[in-house]
Amino acid sequence: MLAHARIPGRVVPFALGVCIAPALAAQKPRPDPRLAALDTYIEKTRVDWKVPAIAVAIVKDDSVVFAKGYGTLEIGGSRKTDENTLFAIGSASKAFTTAALGMLVDEGKLRWNDPATKYLPSLQLPDPWVTREPTVRDLVTHRVGLDRGDALWELTDLSRDEVLRRQRFLGRLASFRAAFGYNNNMFLAAGQIVPVVTDTSWDDFVRARIFEPLGMRRTRTSTKPLASMDNVATPHAIVDDYQVIPVPWHNIDNIAPAGSINSSAIDMAQWMRLQLAGGTYGASGSSRARRWRSCTSRRRSFPASRGCRL
């Protein structure tokens, strides 16, 4: 599998891991001759689709069996991509926010069915009833029913708190819990619960409680550190007649819990192993496994709301 994230005005390639089987602790890839054909296929597909750079990791039987980069950090450049190259992972960041909340649930610091306003008393949505009713779980299951409102944070300098304050002015796509409606702003609200409960920013909590224990050493929650780091893929945009050109990084710290993480294929392989191991690393426990299933289980299906862009 391979893909690139599309954001208005640009295309950002991202590291993509292929999930095959459970694994646990950080490892270096070990070669497997059976993957030679896949290697050729990935590079051909990259060239055919005009993707400047991609990186792929494969996990099988508690091991990273393949991790490699393809292409160059910038189109037309000479610096090669590898398994440690940093890419924006986009909305794959949302799973880290849900995991952070799951840890706090496991520690008894919050409950999934607590009202969101218990932790965010200033959060006000367009309707008083809808303001009162959403739970922590609703914030991360795309069923609050609000318009996406991405213009509040996209290409703006509004703070996280200000983006949330302006939710009261948004329209509604559907009734509360009546339809699926993708919403980045509600994931921001979910992430802002973390500092309320822990007195630690979402960024610091995710780094200390997830990145560091998993050995995700190069992963960052913001584009700001990237200027001083090496081996970072350049964002690109598709312009006239499918011409691919480099563009500057776009900082989205104001919506960070919904999509700001930058990582590498080898780092994301460690995150993938945690997922496949049911949320355990180091000492395991049935309680933690049950909590992880709560984080990752599919919720009730809803029809997609009109106007929902995925």
Return d(Cα 185, Cα 183) in angstroms, integer. 6
pLDDT in tens, 60-108: 877 898 999 999 999 999 999 999 999 999 999 999 999 999 999 999 9
Residue 36 has a pLDDT of 83
Dihedral of CA atoms 133, 135, 139, 141 in degrees, nearest 10, equals: -100
CA–CA distances in Å: residue 220 to residues 156, 215, 255:
21, 12, 14
For residue 256, what pLDDT band results from cuts at 50, 70 and 90? very high
**Residue 49 pLDDT greater than 80, yes or no:** yes
The pTM for the full model equals 0.84
Amino acid identity of residue 185, one-letter, is N
Instruction: Assess contact for 201 and 41: CB atoms under 8 A.
Output: no
The predicted structure's pLDDT at residue 23: 39
**Would you kindly state where each structural domain of the chain is located, as residue ranges?**
4-93+215-281, 95-202
Q: What's the residue count for the chain?
A: 310
Q: Which CATH class is domain 4-93+215-281?
A: alpha beta
What does pLDDT average to over the chain?
85
Q: List, as one string, the DSSP characters of 121-142.
A: TT---SSHHHHHS-BHHHHTTT
Query: Are the C-beta atoms of residues 86 and 265 closer than 8 Å to each other?
Result: no
> Is the confidence at residue 28, as pLDDT, over 50?
yes
Read off the pLDDT of residues 137-170 as tens digits, 9 standing for 90 and up: 999 999 999 999 999 999 999 999 999 999 999 9
Residues 6+ apart with CB under 8 A from 160: 188, 191, 192, 253, 254, 255, 256
Select from 1.20.58.710, 3.40.190.10, 3.30.1370.60, 3.40.50.9100 the CATH code of 95-202.
1.20.58.710
